[in-house]
Structure 1
Amino acid sequence: MDIFQPSAMDAGGDSGILSLIESLSMLRSLVVPDATALDEPELCAHAARACVTHRDLECCALYLQHDRALVCTAHVRRDPDDADAPGAALDELAARVIADGEILRGASEVHGSLLAAPLAAAGRVQGVLVVGHPAAGRYSRWHERLLQLVCDVLTQTLEHGRLVRGQREAIAERSRALSHCDASLDAERRRRSAAESALVRESRLRDRLARLDTLTGLLNRAAFESELARALGRVAPGAGGRALIHVDIDRFRVINDAAGQAAGDQLIRVLAELLREHFAGASLLGRLGNDEFGILLEGRAADRVETLAESLCDAVDDFQFSFRGYRFVISLSIGVAEYRDGDSGEQLLRKAYSACLSTQEVGGGNVRLYREHDGKLKRRNNEAHALSRLVRALEEDRLELFSQPIVANARAPQAAAEPINYEILLRLKGEDGDLISPGQFLPIAERYGLSVKLDRWVVRSVLQTLAEHAERFDRFGYVTINLSGHSLGSRGFLDYVLEQLRHFDTTPGKICFEVTETVAISDLQAARRFIAGLKSRGCRFALDDFGSGYASYLYLRDLEVDFLKIDGEFVQGIATDSANLALIRSINDIGKILGKRTIAEHVENDATLALLEEIGIDFVQGYFIGRPEPLRNILEPERSH
């Protein structure tokens, strides 16, 4: 599904990506390379023609204030034969927007849906953009955000960048107003839901309501456990063919944190309906916890139940959950436990949960059948050993800094004068001296709360090493340091970084911190606070893996980052993948509009590099550019040979 096409909320496959490309193509066409070559009416006509290329914008009218009079400067309809004047309905709606200074909706005999937004700069409304569509009820809150973004781009073009600071403040205020509006709507919905639940509770039998989960209508945990014990108590000795399934939604908290509790509730409802359909013959179906479900199947062998659970995983893998502009890829962790003679309901639940937990521990999105001797204890012992090895490595200073070059686009002006930049990478040196890749120890650090300690080590070690080689470091452009999500919200971490910068007398502008898009969005408030604290000292920031979630554009204006590091999954294979190429081109264009520079990682061959240079990506990084090597080799080249 596509965040830029709410009318396609039930669509799937590639249509979401194509709709995204269409919306972004409209935005890109708004930008005039040399705005001074056109006068104001020509600029307005250009913008109106660009708007009606979008499927939801059949007509567009631009009004500008001249000597306190509101004048229609441009009016375009998609059908070139319709050259009528805007009409009284559009004029009246524009006048109301001038008076109110906010987005308004309307309708006319010709246009079932009208939407108008102000062109505002530095607190002054200087015009109105009105769009329309023949169908009634066509526009949603998403269209308001899209239309406001169009207004922002057009205002910036008309003002020639003189009111950039004021524009950003206006956009930020508008985002806060939208967030407050969302919060108010959510609160109102919760109040209404509570009132409706109260009426239902009084109209139905109390004993039935006490057994049901109010959100999904499934059995609640207490009722499920009671019914499970009753069902197993009726089983005759030696009678098999029963299995319990435990279902858990992977990374459910990310959805709640990013989009709010209402989004999580909606996903729970959707999954409950899917479970009803998928396990139509189940003896019991219940919601066991916040994002957990239980299913009892009778008359089926465990291997058949496992196959049925795998088909559920496959169905969810093909499903993308969208909510108010947010888009999430959903996966499930499923545990299956076969009933054995003498098993109580509590024991069977514990077995299924244990199997589900084993699936989650290796990333989720899979099904696991509980077995008494499946090596789980051995794996956990191995994990404990890995944790112990990481702790010893920290104590014995057996971590090593590596670096990988980030170079400027060779086709960019003054590219030859641009210094080489470096991303700092981390490796662990085993007790035998062999290097261990981060994929083998960073997940352990995240899971067991060592990531902040690792980040502190990296920050101090990088700044100390660069201070010891200050003359060589002066030849670099900047170095980037990756930070974990735990560090952004960790109490005292920001103060620690600032203290290290002062202690080693580091030039802040040569230090760039990288945070992933997922981390930034998962705790937006903490990310903003952390970024603001370091940018006020002159440090830079890069948003890593950008584009991996299509909610990215809704947050981009609110995050004061300097660089967008495009997700390598899009970069690889762009020579043969036109969709990814179009996405990268769109990300680069939006980045330029918002004043951010772009970095493409995972550049593996000359064909990919040539396309990225042609698009205008600012910097490139990957094995084709330079492989990671110890930082000391860069700072002490005479020792590396």
Structure 2
Amino acid sequence: MRQGLRLLVVDDSEDDAILLIRELRKGGMLPNYTRVDNEHDMRKMLSAQQWDIIITDHNMPGFSSEEALAVVREAELDVPVIIVSGTIGEDVAVRAMKAGAHDYIMKDNLARLLPAIQRELKEATVRDARKRAERTLHHMAYHDSLTDLVNRREFERRLKSALNSSKERGLTHMLLYLDLDQFKIINDTCGHVAGDELLKQLAILLSKHIRESDTLARLGGDEFGILLESCAERRAIQLAQELNSEVRNFRFVWQQKPFTISLSIGIVAVTSEYGSGAEILSHADIACYAAKDKGRNTIQVYQSDDVEMMRRRTEMQWISRIRIALEENRFFLYQQPMERIGPDRGAGLHTEFLLRLREGDEVIPPGAFIPAAERYSLMPLIDRRVIELVFQYLAESGKGMADKGAYFINLSGASLSDDKVFEDIRKNLRKYKIRPERICFEITETAAIAHLAETVEFIREIREEGFKFALDDFGCGMSSFSYLKTIPVDYLKIDGSFVRNMLSDPIDVGIVEACNRIGHAAGLTTIAEFVENEQIKEKLIEIGVDYAQGFAVSKPKPL
């Protein structure tokens, strides 16, 4: 099969060029060639089209092979150049090879020409494939594989460059942090393939609204970033409004199901006041979350003196501290025993495990980090760590095999719908071989009602394994009394805010009495929290509450 060849011949002799072409045709090639004999024409032909091979004579009037090689180098072309000459000395040949020639052939030995061209074509193909692979790898290093937008790494590099220009030249840029509202619904209902398709379509949609000098990136998951260089805040807000409107009017259809999409957008000015790009991104993220809190499909500009922003910033700092604490096993347990104040004083030890965080010599209570963990969906990770710590302690101490007693572990509302939490409970039960009936998981009343379906299903599965369940902070929402018929629990923990003021507030006494009566009517064991003195304990005994928990019984202590 004959092989086509785009050949540029640099030779002042038409006859010599014809001899070359004849030799190539004899070897099975079909050269489509053009002949030039001066620098001007050569430059013109190099810019006019692509060439597979350049064959140049060594000595032409006013134009040598060395000059022809210089023209190829200046054009920055990766085209093999072969010198074919009647007379060329060895020193000249060596100099030509150093200048970029790929081979040199004497005109009286043209039999070498075809193999030399075939070799150079093969090597050129290999070089071209390698360059394509390198370009692909380079592109992949700086672009998101799904949307083909700039990836987070490159976005952060460009943000750093923008920050430097702010410091050196006083320029102001703007950063938009975009987060899709309720993207998880599409992933959960239609699958990740649908979610990926949505992200690709949105990437195209968003790209239509930015300038060539701006950068649109996928920062991860369903989050996008836009860096607007040399941009005023007013223009950034206007663009954010345009994007919100565009996405809100966009209809994503998957398998004939239409979905309405919206964005929450945080905006922050990139100025010389910032020390790093990470700080800017963090503030943009804070503003974006604040936009979500305002009702989604909204815009929030970051303001450093805004109370909400300051709270957000504190919570964001806690995220990394919590993750480090999990990685470095800095979480540990306290416990607070309960006292049986009702009949049947031989019911065994009842105690609640409480979480603490150690940073250096400081012991940090949960109230400092739990709000941030709840807001940023880290509670299931913390709950899983607590569960393992408790099971390990009960196994090593032998208390997990006791005939009586109950050991209480708090669970967050988010853990009720996290399959990994239940998997960990089962895994740790097998690993540590303790009696499940000794463990009582507890969840607050408000969380249980907010996740009612998940709560009922979770408790059902827990109780099937032999574990017990408690409803914590009961009474803080009196309308929830009816939920006791729905939520199958074993213990009712009466909210401490009512217990604490029992001696001075008759209404609180009535609420505690009502909670206790309803709990007993449902066949549950009742526990009063925040029992801070003996007088309150005596009142609870009079009412008939089963257990007391608080400082009058015992302060929390480390294991």
Larger Rg: 2
- TM-score normalised by length of structure 2: 0.46
Higher relative contact order (CA 8 A, sep 6+): 1
